[in-house]
Amino acid sequence: MTFIEQLRAARALNDSHLCVGLDPDPAKFPGAWKGDASKIFDFCAAIVDATHDLAIAFKPQIAYFAAQRAEDQLERLIQHIKRVAPQVPVILDAKRGDIGATAEQYAVEAFERYQADAVTLSPFMGFDSVEPYLKHEGKGAILLCRTSNKGGDDWQMQRLADVPGQPRLFEHLAHLAQTQWNKNGQLGLVVGATYPEELARVRALAPDLPLLVPGVGAQGGDAAATVKAAGTAAPLMVNSSRAILYADNGPGFAAAARRVAQATRDALRG
């Protein structure tokens, strides 16, 4: 199946809009694992085992693995997800953004080395920084559009004087992703839950695209407002990372993670 088909199948199977973010920080690991980077796989695998029937997707953040020289554990983790939850797609959160041969290599990294089903990208350099990923049939490319951080205002909210109607940058990007950039139906957008009005605007401009929505949970985004703004006609992946991963720092951390994930999944269902 394509990434979009995987999302729809996972949504139907697990009745979920919840994307579980995998951002392993050894300093926050439970018990004897605390501070031990060699336990990254074990920690994340336990979270996956506890939540895979509640999720529409898993989203490992590559920096948390690379900073600990744990890329091999990331490879093992994605293999593990595909064994225990083959119906749940994996989004590699890498936010790559480069052109030409370099972008081609990043695409190989995401889709061939790590076997991810989709990857997050920064489209700042334009369509030729996105196109190499679209050559990988069926894979997803999820573009940063209106991000959850305050600094996103520096660029994303600026109006484009040379474009008819003077849309803001994030609006123009949403339009491009819905139309001429989305040649093979592989694109999605990242829009923060912390900006529900902009989220609704992106959905109006890109009604068919899957949306990856960070900011619910530890960042304070409201689940009900997120679903209302984004709608659910197209796939919606509302990400929660820290609130699930670090729900408890004792031996019952995985069970606690499941409880938080289930509560979040249920809140997103309304």
Q: Which residues are catalytic?
A: 95
Q: Decide if 6 contacts 237 (C-beta within 8 A).
A: no
Q: Which residues pair with 191 in a beta bridge?
A: 146
Q: In whole angstroms, what is the distance from residue 5 CA to residue 11 CA? A: 10
User: First-to-last CA distance in the chain?
Assistant: 28
Q: In whole angstroms, what is the distance from residue 27 CA to residue 217 CA? A: 20
Q: In whole angstroms, what is the distance from residue 250 CA to residue 270 CA? A: 30
Nearest to 89 by CA among 226, 186, 195: 186
Q: In whole angstroms, what is the distance from residue 209 CA to residue 60 CA? A: 21
The identity of residue 79, as a single letter, is Q
Q: Decide if 49 contacts 84 (C-beta within 8 A).
A: yes
Residue whose tokens read 């091999």 = 72
Residues 6+ apart with CB under 8 A from 179: none
